Structure 1
Amino acid sequence: MESRGGGSQILMLGLCVGAIYAAYITQGVVQENVSTRKYGEKGERFEHLTFLQLAQSVVCLFWSLLMLQVWPNTKGSQAPAAAYLKASLSNAIGPACGIVALKYISYPAQVLAKSSKMIPVMFMGALVYGVQYSLSEYLSTFLVAGGVSMFALFKSSKKVASKLSSPNAPLGYTLCFLNLGLDGFTNAAQDSITKKYPGTNAWHIMYAMNLWGSIYMSIYMFGLPGGGGWEAVKFMQHHPVAAWDIMLFCLCGAVGQNFIFLTISRFGALTNTTITTTRKFVSILVSSIWNGNHLSLQQWAGVIMVFTGLMYQIYLKWRKRSAHKKTVVESEKKRE
């Protein structure tokens, strides 16, 4: 019975890994394609990239409603929709900044910049809260910071730069780091909600976040001057291929979110972090081969430094968790 249960767990983990890889690697290719492609005979670009965030929120909203019908949560009290007001606002703005960054920097540069989330977290922890980190943790952070810096210092090929709508590395990296900061706030707010309302499940969080996200982005895109929502709709009407690209982007996001939540609920956040981190490296590799974003040897060295640092950090977390489990087991044996 145990081996059968263990086998089903391995199959489930394999399904989650495969689905997350397939969804987000495909989404990365499509996202880069939408941001760099010239549509139609006139070679028009899809300039209103924030529309991608709105479209994805709407699709993920309906996806989460479907999941709640299939797997309704009957345990404990749910968090009220109003609890997600702040978290969903930062969750709407942050990813939108990351998407818009693709106007100014290449997709591999965006992925690397967004992979350096640990740097501001450790910096704020040490500076503001007086958290003391180990030498190993500082080493992993140094590798990530050094890798991102090395990648940014060496320019991409002219072919890669020519694909960008408005090449501007400082602005692109600034938008990515703003994305990271807002993501940090979103994660902290979501943790606070789940602690206060332990009965809240992943699908309910996905539903509430995307509900408010859809409202926020709709107000921005269609209610404010310069939002560009109507222009985006007209562009898709003139270029149906762009509409299909955007729909594929949204579906990949919905499937990816679905299996990320499933992974966290079944195997924990650390397993999910390991999967998504390795996926980012594969995304850069696919982007380099598929879309011709050929990186220099120095830039590949920077990529390897970043993911060596990230994987070392994950190893440290696994080791820490294993040591904690061992301590708990030993203490229970002593009690017996």
Structure 2
Amino acid sequence: MESHGGGLRRVLVLAVCVAGIWSAYIYQGVLQETVSTKRYGPDKNRFEHLAFLHLAQNVVCLIWSLIMIKLWSSSSAGGAPWWSYWSAGITNTIGPAMGIEALKYISYPAQVLAKSSKMIPVMLMGTIVYGIRYTLPEYVCTFLVAGGVSIFALSKTSSKTISKLAHPNAPLGYGLCFLNLAFDGFTNATQDSITARYPKTSAWDIMLGMNLWGTIYNTAFMFGWPSASGYEAVSFCKQHPKAAGDILLFCLCGAVGQNFIFLTISRFGSLTNTTITTTRKFVSIVVSSLWSGNPLSTKQWGSVAMVFSGLSYQIYLKWRKSQRLQKKRKST
């Protein structure tokens, strides 16, 4: 009876995690698209300083992590020192800023789809740099994702969607997304290296370290050299309180989303988290198409199906691999 209650409690926690991640990031996606395309105030001006979103989110997530460490005493002795995140902080500052900047040039569904193709640069780097050989099913996954993104990029985008973009330029937009992926790869590798060297590092310590350096770098970029556009962004928010409200909600969604991601990874593992976030991306594209009025053509919907078929197959392969490893451990 007790195990039944424990199982039910586990299912409820998972349901809360799924609801938390989906609601936080789907709504954040809507807000991100709103801030990048909406014309604010009677003067109908766009918020052009999209890199400011990343600084604002760094600040909110930094405060959030400090509160969580204080409340739950998550920070433990033997964790990674704050200065060890400086290099990952650089790539984590540049990468996501490029992803957000891409929304000036391509639609939100196109950006989500391009950023879903993370496995392509990982496999390319693995083959070219480290000589890793992948299995046929892994190549099938990559083919589906690469083919889907390519078809979507080459398909004709509706005039209604193009009219919402600040500066429509598909090659530049997709280029920024793929650079974002490259920088994310370095960030993830560096974080893995840090946690390997300092095993007692908690999720909140990582969040604190990453957002601390992100705040430092983004503040220097937005309010120092080369353009000091942060002052213009703050001025715009003062003149358009609605824009400031959308940006604050965007940041809070990011903090809440990270909270549920850390909870999912700690309770259910990274594979469960990957499954939840992958399905969330698909739902984000559907919501964007229906809610924000970004109609997709039949060919584009077909390419979306290709990409998420490849991602789903990849998740299944990882699950099967983890099951085999568990069986091996039990037999030994």
| 2:48 is equivalent to residue 29 of structure 1 | no
| 2:256 is equivalent to residue 239 of structure 1 | no
CA RMSD of aligned residues (A): 0.9
**Matched residue type, 2:280:** R
Distance 1:11 1:35 in 2: 36
Q: Contact 1:222/1:230 (CA < 8 Å) preserved in 2?
A: yes
| 2:48 is equivalent to residue 85 of structure 1 | no
Percent of residue pairs identical: 65
Distance 1:235 1:219 in 2: 19
Distance 1:132 1:288 in 2: 38
Distance 2:14 2:187 in 1: 26
Distance 2:216 2:132 in 1: 38
| 2:302 is equivalent to residue 301 of structure 1 | yes
Residue 74 of structure 2 is matched in structure 1 by 73
**Matched residue type, 1:89:** I
How much has 1:92 moved relative to structure 2? 1.0
Distance 2:29 2:129 in 1: 35
Distance 2:134 2:183 in 1: 23
Residue 200 of structure 1 is matched in structure 2 by 201
How much has 1:241 moved relative to structure 2? 0.3
**Matched residue type, 2:30:** V
How much has 1:110 moved relative to structure 2? 0.2
Residue 100 of structure 2 is matched in structure 1 by 99
- 1:7-22 matched pairs, under 5 angstroms: 7-22=8-23
What TM-score results when the alignment is normalised by the length of structure 2? Answer: 0.98
Distance 2:71 2:17 in 1: 18
Residue 134 of structure 1 is matched in structure 2 by 135
Q: Contact 1:76/1:198 (CA < 8 Å) preserved in 2?
A: no
**Matched residue type, 1:208:** G
- 1:181-260 matched pairs, under 5 angstroms: 181-260=182-261
**Matched residue type, 1:242:** A
Deviations 1:180-213 (A, max 9, x none): 0010000000000001001100001101110110
Residue 161 of structure 2 is matched in structure 1 by 160
Q: Contact 2:75/2:201 (CA < 8 Å) preserved in 1?
A: no
How much has 1:252 moved relative to structure 2? 0.2
- 1:255-270 matched pairs, under 5 angstroms: 255-270=256-271
Q: Contact 2:110/2:152 (CA < 8 Å) preserved in 1?
A: yes
Residue 334 of structure 1 is matched in structure 2 by none
How much has 1:70 moved relative to structure 2? 1.4
**Matched residue type, 2:254:** G
Distance 2:71 2:7 in 1: 25
Deviations 1:139-191 (A, max 9, x none): 01000000000000012100000000000001000100010001000000000
Aligned residues: 331
What TM-score results when the alignment is normalised by the length of structure 1? Answer: 0.97
How much has 1:307 moved relative to structure 2? 0.2
Deviations 1:254-305 (A, max 9, x none): 0011111111111111111000000000000000000000000000000000
**Matched residue type, 2:200:** G
**Matched residue type, 1:103:** K
Q: Contact 1:139/1:309 (CA < 8 Å) preserved in 2?
A: yes
Q: Indicate the SS of the match to 1:132.
A: coil
Distance 2:168 2:219 in 1: 28
Range that drifts further, 66-75 or 98-107: 66-75
In structure 2, do the counterparts of structure 1 residues 143 and 264 end up closer, same or farther at CA, with 3 Å as the change threshold?
Answer: same
**Matched residue type, 1:126:** T
How much has 1:227 moved relative to structure 2? 3.2
| 2:55 is equivalent to residue 47 of structure 1 | no
Residue 285 of structure 2 is matched in structure 1 by 284
Q: Contact 2:75/2:202 (CA < 8 Å) preserved in 1?
A: no
Distance 2:284 2:121 in 1: 23
Q: Contact 1:60/1:210 (CA < 8 Å) preserved in 2?
A: yes
In structure 2, do the counterparts of structure 1 residues 310 and 203 end up closer, same or farther at CA, with 3 Å as the change threshold?
Answer: same
**Matched residue type, 1:146:** G
